Amino acid sequence: MAKKPLPYPEKKTVIKKHHTGRYIGITLGILIILVALIYLIKTEVLVKTPVTLPQKEGVAASVGTSDITLAELNTAYERLPEQYKAQLTRTDVLKQLIDEKLLLLDAEAKKITVSEADVQKEISALMVTNNITEEEFNQALALQGVNKSEFLTAFKNRLLIAKLFNVTVLSATTVTTQEAKTYYDENQDIFTQPASVHAAHILVNTSAEADEIVSELSSGKNFTDLAKKYSIDPSAKVNGGDLGYFSQGMMVPAFEEAAFATAKGKYSDPVQTQFGWHIIWVIDTKPAQVILFDDIKTELIESLRMTKARTDFQTYLSELGNKTKIVTYFSESITPTATMPAGANDENIPPEQLPVTSAPAEEQSPAETPTETAPAETTKPAAGTLAACLTDKDAILYGAYWNKDTEDQMNLFGTEKADLPYVECGVSDDYAAQKKECKDEKILGYPTWKIAGKLVPGILTKEQVKALAGC
């Protein structure tokens, strides 16, 4: 029987604390993107049969009697991280804004409300979960160029849509124990955890340095203190060289072999890799194990229920689109000549808006044919740059948009970061999930490099990346 789509990524996808003093599951920057663009599901295009209509100045689209302005579209697009702008067009963003508008109008029609107290309660819970103060919260908003009022409105809209989802779909969705057991039996690999090692390391340039550190360890010196003092791994200054848990296939071979061969609580002899010389301390080991159904039943049923509800909600949203008049005036391909909307930034004005529309299904004419948007062109990195060499060598950086370490890794490449061969693993509607491409590559932490066919987790310096890739 064919394997069903994975609805339960939490047990398969292990997001580790690489190189940060604390792990924040959803950073404020991500939350800002979330409330602006991402709702409970990813949806299909609702504008099915566009026809030309007179232009409506300053408006990107109309949903029923409500408008989405060009200024709103530009603001949402400009807040995307640079790596997202390379993958998404303003048209993509507009589709998400249209979906949001449909859902908010439906919530209003159903008299679903969210109070200011509800908003404050959820934001307070978010800050507690992520261990940040209100001052840090406000600083993050300021860095994103978002004022507090604007953020609160966007966050309130997100809560409204979540409440609509709960009322219209989730409350009526059920998954039986037998359905969960069938899924469990058909997807055993998801519930099998491979053997893993929790290790820390000290990385130095020479064999002599490594031998000296081994001598200090033998005399009773603390491994973490020595890692912070001597290791050339940038993360060691923060976490004492702690790499967290990793399974076989994640590290370069020599390092992995030594780590799995060292007993718990012991440290290895010096091991040479392309990074330098390592002394590895094995903090803990875990054997391969299968998670029993009874241990995971409640959590699995809820995960499957949520997956089923999201699918039903997508259908619900499509039906809203079919019975609502949606008019799109925006086009990526026409040079702007229209008057700039009040308060808009000249540099952010998109091309002149060519109107297209979607009428309810019963009003559409068979003679009307859909228009297609040409895919955005991708540009190659400039010749002679490190990014160009990495691309030529088929090196890949895997990361997640919500992960601070991914951002730190990219920032090490300065102006070249936008040209790095990068694969986004994060799923926009579920920060605990992972895209299939990254699952297939067995990416278990962010950032992770794939260089010369090997996975190398953690933040690497430019020099380390050059050496590994042969650039």
23: Cβ–Cβ under 8 A, 6 or more apart, which residues? Answer: 15, 17
The pLDDT confidence band at residue 450, using thresholds 50, 70 and 90, is: very high
398: Cβ–Cβ under 8 A, 6 or more apart, which residues? Answer: 422, 423, 425, 438, 441, 443, 446, 447, 448, 449, 450
**467 vs 422, residue with greater confidence:** 422
- Cα–Cα distances (Å) from 394 to 89, 377, 422, 435, 469, in that order, read 26, 20, 11, 20, 9
Can you tell me the mean pLDDT for 365-382?
45
pLDDT number for residue 429: 58
The pLDDT confidence band at residue 368, using thresholds 50, 70 and 90, is: very low
- Listed range (197-206, 323-332, 459-468) with the worst mean pLDDT: 459-468
pLDDT of 336 strictly over 50? no
**131 vs 309, residue with greater confidence:** 309
Mean pLDDT for the chain overall: 78
CATH assignment of 386-469? 3.40.30.10
Residues of the chain within CATH 3.10.50.40 domain(s) are: 195-287
**162 vs 416, residue with greater confidence:** 162
pLDDT number for residue 427: 80
Which CATH topology does 28-174+297-363 take?
Triger factor/SurA peptide-binding fold (1.10.4030)
pLDDT of 159 strictly over 50? yes
The pLDDT confidence band at residue 337, using thresholds 50, 70 and 90, is: very low
User: What is the pTM (predicted TM-score) of this model?
Assistant: 0.52
Residues of the chain within CATH 3.40.30.10 domain(s) are: 386-469
pLDDT number for residue 292: 93
Which CATH topology does 195-287 take?
Chitinase A; domain 3 (3.10.50)
The pLDDT confidence band at residue 370, using thresholds 50, 70 and 90, is: very low
HSE of 321, CA atoms in CB hemisphere, 13 A = 23
Residues of the chain within CATH 1.10.4030.10 domain(s) are: 28-174+297-363
